[in-house]
Amino acid sequence: MAILASTESESVFKFKGEGHRLFIEGRGFDFERLIVDSNANAELILPISEDNLYTFLDFEEPRVIYVVSRVGIKDLILQGCIIQEIRGNTCILSYSKLQSES
């Protein structure tokens, strides 16, 4: 289950990889943590072994990311995702639209 926190008109979704997976173009990926804010930014922390995720995300071509619980419930959809920056195993993303399924 996602944690939704609100701080001074800014909603934040926090997902842990133990309970969720990311899906991009039908392919599933493990992650450690995903923090999504209401300012159209997200911080994705990946395990060291998931660098092939970068072949599906891009700095220019927008993608749709589905955050799905490990029991198969779609919790969040991020549309128009583009990589802004990569720092080690942390990826900073921007998105154009957020849709909460919970």
For the chain, domains (ranges, CATH) are 3-100 (2.40.10)
In this predicted structure, what is the pLDDT of residue 6? 47
How far is residue 57's CA from residue 65's CA, in Å, rounded to a whole number?
9
Position 95 scores a pLDDT of 96
- This prediction has a pTM of 0.84
Kindly write down the DSSP assignment for every residue of 47-62, as one continuous string.
-TT-GGGGGTS-SSS-
Give backbone dihedrals phi and psi of 26, rounded to 5 degrees, phi first: 80, 0
The token duo for 35 is 């923090």
Q: What amino acid is encoded at 8 in this protein?
A: E
pLDDT, tens only, 28-52 = 999 999 999 989 999 999 887 656 7
Average pLDDT over the chain reads 85
